[in-house]
Structure 1
Amino acid sequence: MDFLLIAIIIILLFVVARQHLSIRKTNSELHQMRDKLADIIEEETAEKVLLQTNHQPIQQMLIQINRLLSYNQKVAADYSRTKESLRKMLSNMSHDLKTPLTVILGYVEKLNHHEKMSVEEQSEVLESLHEKTLSVIDLMNQFFDLVKLESGDVELSISRLSINEICRKNVLEYYHLLQSKGLHVEVEIPEQNYYILGNENALNRILSNLISNAIRYGSDGGVFGLTIRKEGENIAVDIWDRGKGIAEAHLDHVFERLYTLDDARNPQFQGSGLGLSITKRLTEAMNGAIRLRSTPYEKTVFTCLFKRLTF
C-alpha cells in the first residue's frame, strides 16, 4: 500500500509540475503578445503579432487579434485617404469658387465705377456677369448633387430602357458641337435594340458628362467615338477619343470628387472635377460599373457596363 501511495504522489507531483510549466509558458506567450500589441499600437505600425506556439487556444486568439489589426489598419488607411480627399476637395472647391467669384466682383465694380459706359458696353458686361453667375450656380448644383448621391438620399426610379435610342439621342444633341470642333464622329450602334434596367434622366446625364468630357479633353485627337456592344451578360457603352489621354498615374483617381488633371485648371478647359464622380455614382446607382483605359494619342475609352435584359 505504501508503494502504491508513493507512486500516486509521484504521478500527481509530475502532473502538477507539468501544469505549472504549461501555465508559465502560456503566461510567457501572453506577455509576449501583450508587449507586441503595445508596440504596434504605440508605434502605429502595420505589423502583425507573430508567435510560435502549440497551444491551440492561443493560436486561435492570435488569428482573431491579427484579423482585428488588419481591420483597424484598413480603417486607419481609409480614414487617411478620406481626410486627404477632403483636404483636396476643399482646396479645389475653394479654387473653383474663388476664381469666378473674383471675376464676378470685377464685373460688379466695373458697373459701379464706370458711369460713362455706353449701353452696349453695359450689356456686354451684364451678359458676362450673367454667364459667370450661372457657372457658379452650376458648380454648386453639381456639388450638392454629388453629396446627395454619396449620402444615398437620391432614389432613382428604374424602368426598361433602350440603350440604343438613348445613345442616339445624346450623340445628336452634341452633333453640332462635334462638327464645330472639327471632330470626325464614329458611332457604332447596332440595329438590334438592347435593353437595360435604368433611369433615363440618370443615363442621359452619364452620357452627357462623358461626351462633353471627350470633347473637352480629346478634341486634339480629331475623332470622337461611341460604341454599343455586348460583353458577356452585359451591355457595354464605349465613349472614346484619340486625344492626349490620361497618364497612368491619374487613372485610379479621375473618379474621385473634385479631382482634376493639371490642365483642367486651365480656363480653356474649365473642368470642375465633379462630372466624372457624379457619372460613377449614377452608374453604380443603376447597378452598373464604369471603367477607364487610356493610351495617350491612341485611344482613351470610358466604358459603362449595364446588365442586359433579355425580355
Structure 2
Amino acid sequence: MEYISTIIMVCVIIWGVMQKRKIYQLEKELNSIKEQIEYSIKSTQGLILTSTESVPIKELVKSINNLLNAYYSGQVNCKKQKETMQQVMTNISHDLRTPLTVLSGYIEILEEKSSKIDMPEEIVVIIHKLSIKIKNSVRLINQFFNLAQIESGDIKYDIKKYNITSLCREIVLGYYDLLYTKGYDVEINIPEYPIFVRIDKKAAIRIIKNIIDNAIKYGDDGKYLGITVEEKEKEVYVLFEDHGQGIENIEIEKIFNRSYTLSDTNKNYESSGLGLAISKNLANGMNSDILVKSIPHKQTVFNWKIKK
C-alpha cells in the first residue's frame, strides 16, 4: 500500500512539473506575442511570428495578424485621405484668394470715393461693413492656406539659436499702445539676460503674436495680460496669461483643432480657431509644444515649451 502511495505521489509531482513547464512556456510565448504586437503598432509594419505547437495560440496569432493587416490598411487609407484633404484645402484657399483680393481692392476704391463725394449715410455704412467682411474673409483664407501648407509639410524651418527674451520683449512692445488704449493691466516678467533657444524666427514670431492676439480677443473681460519667460534645465517656458472668461477642462484639448468651435456654454470664445491651430502646428514643427491650463473666469495660461 505504501508502495502504491509513493508511486501516486511521484506521478503527481511529475504531472505538476510538466504543467509548470507548460505554463512557463505559455507565458513565454504570450510575452513574445505581446512584444511583437507593441513593436508592430509602433513601427506600423510586420506580423506576429511564433514557433508554438499549440493550436489555440496559432489561431490567436492568426487572428492578431488579420487585425494588424486591417490596421495597416486603415493607416494607409487615413494618410491618403489626410493628404487629399490637405491638397483640397490648399487648392480651395488658393482659388479663393485671388478673387477676394481683387474684390477687396474694389471695396477700398469705393471707401475712398465715399469719403470724397456726398453719399447717403446708409450706403457709406454698407461699404464699410463690406470692407470689414472682405478683409476678414481674406485673412481667414490666408490662414487656411498657411495651415494647409504647414500640415502638408511644405513649410521648411530655418532652425537657429535666437535670444527668446529679446524676441518676446520686442513683440510685446508692439502691443503696448493697443493694450494701453483698451485699459489692460500688463505684467511682463522677462529676464534681462539672454536665453537662447533653437527656433525658426518667423514661426516663433507668429506663435507669439497669435497667442497674444488670442488672449486680447478672448480674455478681454479680465483686462489683464501677463508675459513670462522661465528658464528650466532643458527647456524654456514662454507663458501667456489672461484673466478672461477662460476655458472649461473638457474644451482644453479641442481648442487647437482647426475645425473646432466652442460649445454654446462658452459662446464668447467661439471662433475659427485657426490661429491656435497654426501656432500648435508651428510649435510641433520646431520640436516644441504649446500647453494650456485654465480656471474659468479667473486665469488662463498658454505655455509654449521650447527645448534648448
Amino-acid identity (%):
33
Q: Which residue of 2 aligns with 1:207?
A: 208
Moved more, 188-197 or 141-150: 188-197
Higher relative contact order (CA 8 A, sep 6+): 1
Quote how far apart the aligned CAs of 1:142 are: 0.8
Q: Is the 8 A contact 2:207 2:283 kept in 1?
A: yes
Q: Is the 8 A contact 1:228 1:235 kept in 2?
A: yes
Q: Is the 8 A contact 2:189 2:227 kept in 1?
A: yes
SS in structure 2 opposite 1:228? strand
Structure 1 pair 75/153, CA: closer, same or farther in 2 (3 Å)? closer
Q: Which residue of 2 aligns with 1:9?
A: none
Structure 1 pair 62/239, CA: closer, same or farther in 2 (3 Å)? same
Quote how far apart the aligned CAs of 1:301 are: 1.1
Q: Which residue of 2 aligns with 1:130?
A: 131
- In structure 2, stretches of 5+ residues that fail to align are 1-52, 94-99, 112-116
User: In the aligned structure 2, how far is the partner of 1:220 from the partner of 1:195?
Assistant: 34
Q: Which residue of 2 aligns with 1:252?
A: 253
Give yes or no for the alignment of 1:230 onto 2:231.
Answer: yes
Structure 1 residues 187-206: aligned runs within 5 Å: 187-206=188-207
| TM-align CA RMSD | 3.9
Q: Is the 8 A contact 2:222 2:243 kept in 1?
A: yes
Structure 1 pair 292/256, CA: closer, same or farther in 2 (3 Å)? same
Q: Is the 8 A contact 1:218 1:244 kept in 2?
A: yes
User: In the aligned structure 1, how far is the partner of 2:185 from the partner of 2:155?
Assistant: 37
SS in structure 2 opposite 1:239? strand
Q: Which residue of 2 aligns with 1:296?
A: 296
Give yes or no for the alignment of 1:281 onto 2:266.
Answer: no
Q: Which amino acid aligns with 1:285?
A: G
Give yes or no for the alignment of 1:150 onto 2:154.
Answer: no
Structure 1 pair 73/143, CA: closer, same or farther in 2 (3 Å)? closer
SS in structure 2 opposite 1:293? strand
Q: Which amino acid aligns with 1:144?
A: F
Q: Which amino acid aligns with 1:300?
A: T
Quote how far apart the aligned CAs of 1:213 are: 0.5
Structure 1 pair 127/247, CA: closer, same or farther in 2 (3 Å)? same
Structure 1 pair 125/66, CA: closer, same or farther in 2 (3 Å)? closer
Q: Which residue of 2 aligns with 1:217?
A: 218
User: In the aligned structure 2, how far is the partner of 1:128 from the partner of 1:304?
Assistant: 36
User: In the aligned structure 1, how far is the partner of 2:252 from the partner of 2:266?
Assistant: 18
- In structure 1, stretches of 5+ residues that fail to align are 1-52, 94-99, 112-116
Quote how far apart the aligned CAs of 1:59 are: 4.5
Structure 1 pair 295/77, CA: closer, same or farther in 2 (3 Å)? farther
Structure 1 pair 175/263, CA: closer, same or farther in 2 (3 Å)? farther
User: In the aligned structure 2, how far is the partner of 1:206 from the partner of 1:149?
Assistant: 13
User: In the aligned structure 1, how far is the partner of 2:244 from the partner of 2:233?
Assistant: 29
Q: Which residue of 2 aligns with 1:261?
A: 262
User: In the aligned structure 2, how far is the partner of 1:246 from the partner of 1:269?
Assistant: 8
SS in structure 2 opposite 1:290? strand
Q: Is the 8 A contact 2:258 2:272 kept in 1?
A: no
User: In the aligned structure 2, how far is the partner of 1:217 from the partner of 1:79?
Assistant: 36
User: In the aligned structure 1, how far is the partner of 2:78 from the partner of 2:127?
Assistant: 49
User: In the aligned structure 2, how far is the partner of 1:197 from the partner of 1:264?
Assistant: 39
Q: Which residue of 2 aligns with 1:305?
A: 305
TM-score (norm 1): 0.63
SS in structure 2 opposite 1:221? coil
Max Rg structure: 1
TM-score (norm 2): 0.63
Q: Which residue of 2 aligns with 1:174?
A: 175
Quote how far apart the aligned CAs of 1:123 are: 5.2
Quote how far apart the aligned CAs of 1:281 are: 1.1
User: In the aligned structure 1, how far is the partner of 2:292 from the partner of 2:79?
Assistant: 23
User: In the aligned structure 2, how far is the partner of 1:54 from the partner of 1:225?
Assistant: 65
User: In the aligned structure 2, how far is the partner of 1:74 from the partner of 1:297?
Assistant: 41
Q: Which amino acid aligns with 1:139?
A: L
